[in-house]
């Protein structure tokens, strides 16, 4: 080998630079001297180059592996991104969609989303909410997850929970990353539950009874309109309050046993008079029904309250009325018995005396006189018995009709009480059934007797006729009048009202102290077919 070649070798095989690590040893310089020394130097340099080449090869392999790992990681991310059940979108600063995963495509529509404005998918009534949310994000203001309604291009409503972050590059915002969780089913379930609750509330409010619900802590969770109105408080004021606070200590003390039994899973009932904190004393029937879950555990109980106070008062009033009716019947029987004794009995006694005198008479003139006297007494007895029979049940009411019976009644009251009655008939009702005739006659008789006894007048006016499909009777006087408050009506007027209303009719009373009284009665023409009249205690 020539000197030029030997001297050129080291320059062509100069050691390459290692950009990442400095050389561990200083670069050796070719020694000057013998050829063995140069060869040793070149051999050593060759070994170093091979070591460096091996290191470079390993570095390339490592870099390739890193690139492969990065590509694999990116691929896994892309697969997860596409397979995720949550819709992901990237939106530029101009509001246009730059990328979307498969879930977003399925959610918003299976068509290219890139280039469309995200706001195009926001429901019109939620546009302002979305734009305010977007501006807040870009200003760096933390925002919670946003519940918003979207619209697919075909118009389908989609309810989503929207989570957003700002995409950045070197501290500069480049857009938004959006995650869309479809909660439509959950929203529909919540809406259905609310609708069910509203329907239950509507049905409960329509019930004529009081309904409330308490939890296991004995606090009110629900009350229908009747319950709220009963206590005179708003629904919100009752909810969450303890049962003892709502009812009052006295009422709760009476009901505690039944409430605790229901909350232990057993149905219970209570009936009796209770003094409530807010509304006073009421007579109630309360049913306690436990509310059991699917696992059999008690979640609370329902209270169904029937306010029987009015019914109780009506029962007491009915008993009082029945007692008063019994007394009135007894008084009427006593009057009839007295009439029979005082009038018919005396007439018959006189007739008996006349018969004995007739048997003892021997003179023809005396016998004729006794016979005439006896004939008169028998006629008087017959007339009096006929009058009593008419008072009990006038035959002409059944044979001739209501108007004829009313005229006879006016004549009878004129003889008995001195009451002059003027009867006016317009469009006389024909073919009335027996129940209607009897009911109207009894009402007319009761009203005219009231005038004779209480009105402090000797005149009365009666108008009879048809009013559409009804029979109408009006009894008026110019007497002293009275207060027509229903709570102050006497037994006679109450019995008239009860009988007429039982027939499906109505009674109107117009009166005032010192201004007379007018009572108007109306009964349907076919009233007797719907209901029978109340029994007359005087009929046998």
Instruction: List, edge to edge, every strand of the sheet that includes 459-467.
Output: 420-426, 459-467, 470-477, 517-524, 506-511
- As averages over each run of 10 residues, the pLDDT of the chain (540 residues) reads 40 45 48 63 75 79 72 60 75 91 83 87 91 88 83 84 88 89 86 78 79 91 85 77 87 90 92 84 91 90 89 80 69 68 69 73 75 78 70 67 85 87 84 81 88 90 88 92 77 81 88 91 69 41
Q: What value does the CA radius of gyration of the chain take, rounded to a whole number of Å?
A: 55
Q: Whole-model pTM above 0.75?
A: no
Give me the residues paired with residue 280 across strands.
276
Query: Tell me, what's the pLDDT at 345?
Result: 67
Q: Which of 148, 132, 134, 142 is nearest to 177 (CA)?
A: 134
Query: Tell me, what's the pLDDT at 198?
Result: 77
Query: Tell me, what's the pLDDT at 501?
Result: 86
Burial class of residue 136 (count of CB atoms within 10 Å of its CB; 0-12, 13-18, 19+): middle
As given in the structure block, the two tokens for residue 177 are: 């990353």
What is the distance between the alpha carbons of residues 381 and 172, in angstroms, rounded to a whole number? 126
Is 129 strand, coil or helix? helix
* CA dihedral sign, ordered 228, 229, 234, 238: negative
Residue pointed to by tokens 């140069």: 38
Burial class of residue 224 (count of CB atoms within 10 Å of its CB; 0-12, 13-18, 19+): buried
Strands (E), 68-145: 87-92, 97-100
What is the distance between the alpha carbons of residues 366 and 111, in angstroms, rounded to a whole number? 135
What is the distance between the alpha carbons of residues 80 and 94, in angstroms, rounded to a whole number? 27
Could you tell me where the DSSP H helices lie in 13-110? Answer: 35-83, 102-108
Q: Which of 149, 175, 150 is nearest to 164 (CA)?
A: 175
As given in the structure block, the two tokens for residue 361 are: 């008479």
Q: Which residues contact 400 (CB under 8 A, 6 or more apart)?
A: none
As given in the structure block, the two tokens for residue 242 are: 């303890």
Q: Decide the pairing of beta strands 420-426 and 459-467.
A: parallel
Query: Tell me, what's the pLDDT at 127?
Result: 92
């Amino acid at each position: 080998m020539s000197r030029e070649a030997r001297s050129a070798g080291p320059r062509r095989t100069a050691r390459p630079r290692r950009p990442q690590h400095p050389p561990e040893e200083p670069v050796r310089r070719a020694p000057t001297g013998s050829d063995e020394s140069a060869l040793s130097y070149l051999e050593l340099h060759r070994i170093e180059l091979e070591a460096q080449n091996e290191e470079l090869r390993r570095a390339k392999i490592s870099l390739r592996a890193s690139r492969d790992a990065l590509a694999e990681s990116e691929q896994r991310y892309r697969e997860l991104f596409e397979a995720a059940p949550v819709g992901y979108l990237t939106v530029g600063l101009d509001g246009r969609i730059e990328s979307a995963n498969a879930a977003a495509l399925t959610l918003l529509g299976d068509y290219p989303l890139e280039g469309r404005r995200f706001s195009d998918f926001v429901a019109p009534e939620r546009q302002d909410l979305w734009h305010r949310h977007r501006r807040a994000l870009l200003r760096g203001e933390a925002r919670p997850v946003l519940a918003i309604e979207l619209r697919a291009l075909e118009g389908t409503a989609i309810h989503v929970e929207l989570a957003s972050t700002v995409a950045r590059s070197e501290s500069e915002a480049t857009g938004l990353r959006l995650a869309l969780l479809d909660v439509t089913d959950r929203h529909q379930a919540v809406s259905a539950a609310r609708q069910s609750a509203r329907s239950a509330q509507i049905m409960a409010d329509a019930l004529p009874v009081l309904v409330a619900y308490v939890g296991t802590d004995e606090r009110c969770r629900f009350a229908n309109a009747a319950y709220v109105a009963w206590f005179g408080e708003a629904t919100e004021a009752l909810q969450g309050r303890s049962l003892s606070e709502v009812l009052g200590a006295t009422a709760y003390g009476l009901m505690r046993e039944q409430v605790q039994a229901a909350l232990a899973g057993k149905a219970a009932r209570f009936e009796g008079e209770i003094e409530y904190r807010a509304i006073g004393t009421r007579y109630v029937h309360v049913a306690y029904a436990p509310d059991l879950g699917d696992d059999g555990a008690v979640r609370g109980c329902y209270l169904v309250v029937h306010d029987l106070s009015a019914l109780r008062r009506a029962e007491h009033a009915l008993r009082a009325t029945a007692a008063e009716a019994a007394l009135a019947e007894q008084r009427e029987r006593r009057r009839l018995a007295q009439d029979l004794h005082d009038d018919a009995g005396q007439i018959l006694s006189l007739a008996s005396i006349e018969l004995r005198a007739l048997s003892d008479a021997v003179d023809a003139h005396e016998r004729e006189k006794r016979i005439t006297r006896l004939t008169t007494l028998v006629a008087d007895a017959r007339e009096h018995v006929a009058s009593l029979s008419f008072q009990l049940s006038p035959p002409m009411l059944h044979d001739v009709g209501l108007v004829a019976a009313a005229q006879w009644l006016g004549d009878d009251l004129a003889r008995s009480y001195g009451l002059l009655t003027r009867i006016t008939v317009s469009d006389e009702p024909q073919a009335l059934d027996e129940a209607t005739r009897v009911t109207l006659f009894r009402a007319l008789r009761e009203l005219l007797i009231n005038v004779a006894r209480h009105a402090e007048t000797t005149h009365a006016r009666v108008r009879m006729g048809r009013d559409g499909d009804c029979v109408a009777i009006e009894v008026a006087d110019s007497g002293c009048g009275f207060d027509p408050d229903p709570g102050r009506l006497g037994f006679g007027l109450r019995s008239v009202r009860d009988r007429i209303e039982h027939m499906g009719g109505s009674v109107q009373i117009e009166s005032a102290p010192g201004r007379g009284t007018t009572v108007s009665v109306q009964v349907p023409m076919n009233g007797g077919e719907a209901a029978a009249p109340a029994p007359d205690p005087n009929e046998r």
